[in-house]
Amino acid sequence: IKKQQQDVLGFLEANKIEFEEKDIAANEENRKWMRENVPEDSRPASGNPLPPRLFNDSRYLGDYEDFFEARENNAVYAFLGLTAPPGSKVSEHLPLRQ
């Protein structure tokens, strides 16, 4: 879990993507919020959802596997619900509309 969290945080920091990290280990309110906001179909069969879980405000985006797949496909900005910055690999591969 820690390695996955560091991977996500490292990517966000390296790409200067603003984020807010919420500690669910030390904060019961954050833990409760995450449990309530992970959709039923994205929860494990037993137990509670484990971090890292990504949200854009209160909209659930996915877990580490979803993030990793988006990164592998150069689609992280779309996954995060953000516009890719000019000059990024993602914006270079998007077809131009005229």
SS3 16: coil
CA gap 93, 98 in Å, rounded: 15
Q: Which of left, alpha, beta for 54 (phi over 0: left; psi -120 to 50: alpha)?
A: beta
pLDDT band for position 95 (cuts 50, 70, 90): very low
| Burial class, 12, CB count within 10 angstroms (exposed 0-12 / middle 13-18 / buried 19+) | middle
Q: What pLDDT, on a 0 to 100 scale, did the predictor assign at position 89?
A: 65
CA distance 43 to 18: 26
- Choices 3.40.50.300, 3.40.30.10, 3.10.580.10, 2.60.120.620: CATH for 1-80: 3.40.30.10
Residue 91 pLDDT exceeds 60: no
* Domains of the chain, residue spans: 1-80
How many Cα atoms within 13 Å fall on the side-chain side of residue 81?
A: 10
Residues 6+ apart with CB under 8 A from 72: none
Q: Which tens digit of pLDDT belongs to each residue from 5-42?
A: 999 999 999 999 999 999 999 999 999 999 999 999 99
Tell me the per-residue pLDDT of 60-78, one tens digit each, with 9 for 90 and over: 999 999 999 999 999 999 9
